[in-house]
């Protein structure tokens, strides 16, 4: 009888200890200054980051349309620069894919993209290729700065390591490389008299069109 009573007391104490441990992990357990929070949701995007990602999604669409406008312009009868048209068409496709990456990432994190709010290109013509390349450099700088700004928000406000890695691995390095190539192209155009959009520009355009020259080779 005594052994049964002792066993019952042991079970009560053991059960109580288990419940206490469970409650501690549920309510937050203090371990020498470290606490286990009740619930941390690292899956859903912080509102501040979601707003910025939606803006960037639209900005990438805008950039794609700017490059599309350049491609149409230089491929027109008036300009007859199929090589530069090819370059800008490539950039247009690239920016469109960037926008889609943001869309897929927002969906991955369980959010919705909201409404598209895309700014149309305000410029529709360029007198020479160098002018368009310089505009492209300015655009890429702006896009890059916005991505870096979102990265800072992800770090300081949202404390979202996954988003930071996404921006670093999928965008920032590529943006820097793109700016570098465009700046080299601008230098090349200036060195062959590209300021006047003449014969030097024609030769570079021909090499781009025939595949003898690419931005990756600059």
97 known member of a binding site: no
217 known member of a binding site: no
46 known member of a binding site: no
CA gap 58, 102 in Å, rounded: 9
In sign, the C-alpha dihedral spanning 108, 56, 146, 73 is positive
Residue 13 C-alpha from the chain's centroid: 55
175 known member of a binding site: yes
CA gap 65, 74 in Å, rounded: 14
Instruction: Give the angle 59-62-68 at the CA atoms, nearest 5°.
Output: 145
Place of tokens 């199929």: 82
CA gap 85, 67 in Å, rounded: 9
138 known member of a binding site: no
Instruction: Give the angle 73-175-181 at the CA atoms, nearest 5°.
Output: 60
For residues 107 and 113, is the Cβ–Cβ distance under 8 A? yes
Binding-site entries for Fe cation? 60, 95, 98, 140, 175
Q: Binding site: what residues are annotated?
A: 60, 95, 98, 140, 175
């Amino acid at each position: 009888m005594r052994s049964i009573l002792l066993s019952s007391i042991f079970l009560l104490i053991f059960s109580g200890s288990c419940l206490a441990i469970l409650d501690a992990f549920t309510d937050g357990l203090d371990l020498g200054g470290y606490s286990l929070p009740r619930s941390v949701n690292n899956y859903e995007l912080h509102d501040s980051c979601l707003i910025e990602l939606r803006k960037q999604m639209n900005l990438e669409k805008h950039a794609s349309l700017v490059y599309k406008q350049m491609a149409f312009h230089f491929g027109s009868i008036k300009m007859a620069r199929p090589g530069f048209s090819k370059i800008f068409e490539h950039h247009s496709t690239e920016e469109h894919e960037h926008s889609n990456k943001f869309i897929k990432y927002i969906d991955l994190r369980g959010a919705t993209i909201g409404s598209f709010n895309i700014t149309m290109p305000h410029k529709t013509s360029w007198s020479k290729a160098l002018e368009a390349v310089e505009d492209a450099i300015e655009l890429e700088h702006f896009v890059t700065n916005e991505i870096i700004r979102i990265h800072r928000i992800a770090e300081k406000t949202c404390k979202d390591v996954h988003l930071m890695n996404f921006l670093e691995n999928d965008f920032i390095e590529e943006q820097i490389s793109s700016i570098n190539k465009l700046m080299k192209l601008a230098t090349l155009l200036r060195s062959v008299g590209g300021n006047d959009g003449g014969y030097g520009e024609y030769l570079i355009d021909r090499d781009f069109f025939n595949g003898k020259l690419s931005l990756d080779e600059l």
